[in-house]
Amino acid sequence: MSIKSKILVTGGAGFIGSAVVRHILTNTSHSVVNVDALTYAGNLESIPAELHSERYVFEHADICDGVAMARLFAEHQPDAVMHLAAESHVDRSITGPGAFIQTNIVGTYTLLDAALHYWRGLDEARKAAFRFHHISTDEVYGDLEGTNDLFLETTPYAPSSPYSASKAGSDHLVRAWHRTYGLPVLITNCSNNYGPYHFPEKLIPHVILNALAGKPLPVYGNGQQIRDWLYVEDHARALFKVVTEGEVGETYNIGGHNEKQNIDVVRTLCALLEELAPDNPNSIASGREGGFASLITFVTDRPGHDARYAIDAGKIERELGWVPEETFDTGLRKTVQWYLDNESWWQRVLSGDYQLARLGEAV
C-alpha cells in the first residue's frame, strides 16, 4: 500500500469502525471512505469534526445494496477495504436473528461480489497491491472448556449464537473468495473490545451509565463468564497493521491478554467510579450504602452463553510486531474517564438525538 492510499471502511460509524477511521485520519496520510448504513448503533458523532478534511468522505449506504456498492468502488477507486459493518449484539441476535443473517452474511457476499468485479478491472500494479480485510470475532470459535486453552487461528469453528454463526458464515465466504477467485483477503478475529464511543448496550458502557444514573447493574447468571478484553484503540492499530503489512490469505487473532470474569469487570468499574466520580449521588462518598457496587443485580443467564473466550495473539506479535499498549487497568481507567468527560456524546445517544446526524443536523 502506498504512502497515500484510499481505504474504504464499512461500518465506519460504529464502535470499532470509528476507532479505525480516527486512527487512520490522525496517524497516517491515507484517505478514508466511510460507508455506513447508520442503523441504530451507527453514530457519525464518533468521528469528531476536527478530523473532517479532504481525506475523509462519508457515504450513507447499505452493504446489502449491490448497486450502491458497485457505484462506491467505481467512484472512489479504493486501494483497500476494511470490512467492519456488522450486526454484533448477541442478545439482539437471539431475539431477531434475521437482521444478522442479512447484514453479516448477505451483506458480506454483496460486498465481496462488488470488490471482486472492481479488483478484476484494476491494472496489474494496483491489482497486486489491493487488499480486502474482513474483521471478525473470537466468538466464531465457540467457548473454551480448559482454563489454560487459547483460541488459535487454526481452532475449529463452533459458534453458539445466531450472531457468531453469522460471523462464521461471513468468514467462510471471504476465504472462499480468496481460494476460488484469488481475491487478496485478510481476516482478523478479535476479543471483546472496550473504550471510548462504545454504544451503551454493551457491558462496560452500560454499567458505567447505569451506575451514574443509579440504575441496576445487570450481570448474567453468576457473572463468572470469562472474556479477554482489548482496548479499542489498540485494536485499531492492529487492524491497520494487518491491512498494510499482513500476508494475503492469512488470519490473525487479536487479543488484549486481559482475561477477566464479568463480575470482576463490573466490580472494577464500580471501584473506578467511586474514585473518579465521588460527587455522584450513588457513590459511597455521597452517602449511598455500598456505593455503586450495591447496584449490582444478578439476572437470568442468556441462552447458549459461552463460558470463556481467550485469544492467543502470538502470531500477530511475531509476524507483524503488534502488541497492545494498554493494560486492562490503564484502558479501563481511560474509558471511565472518557465517559465522565463526554456526557454530551452519550446523552445524545440515550436521547436518540445522535440519529439526526444522518440528516446533516449533528451539532
pLDDT in tens, 40-90: 889 999 999 999 999 999 999 999 999 999 999 999 999 999 999 999 878
Query: What's the structural domain count of the chain?
Result: 1
Whether residue 84 lies inside any domain: the answer is yes
- CA nearest neighbour of 269 among 234, 308, 326, 217: 217
d(CA 196, CA 163): 23
At residue 3, the pLDDT reads 75
Does 339 reside within a domain? no
In a domain, 101, yes or no: yes
Parallel, antiparallel or unpaired: strands 259-261 and 226-231:
antiparallel
Question: pTM for this structure?
Answer: 0.94
Q: Which domain CATH number covers 53?
A: 3.40.50.720
Please give the backbone phi and psi of residue 35, each rounded to the nearest 5 degrees, phi first.
-110, 120
Which pLDDT score is estimated for 122?
A: 98
Assign 7 to helix, strand or coil.
strand
286 found inside a domain? no
**Active-site residue, 139 included:** yes
The pLDDT assigned to 147 comes to 66
Which pLDDT tens digit goes with each residue over 177-193? 999 999 999 999 999 99
Tell me the DSSP string of 260-306: EEHHHHHHHHHHHHHHH-TTSTTSTTTT-TTGGGGGEEEEPPPTT--
**Residue ranges of the chain whose pLDDT lies below 50:** 361-363
Domain contains 321: yes
Range of the domain at 124: 6-197+229-258+309-326+349-359
pLDDT of residue 361: 40
Q: Which amino acid is at 244?
A: T
Cβ atoms 267, 296 nearer than 8 A: yes
Of 45, 79, 139, 233, which is the active-site residue? 139
**Is residue 291 one of the residues assigned to a domain?**
no
Report yes or no on 150 lying in a domain: yes
Residue in 36, 45, 62, 138 annotated catalytic: 138
The pLDDT, as a whole number, for residue 149 is: 86
Residue 107 lies in a domain: yes
Q: Which of 109, 118, 163, 197 is catalytic?
A: 163
Active site residue 149: no
How far are the Cα atoms of 56, 57, 183, 360, 361 from residue 47, in angstroms, in the given order?
10, 11, 30, 14, 14
The question of whether 138 is a catalytic residue gets the answer yes
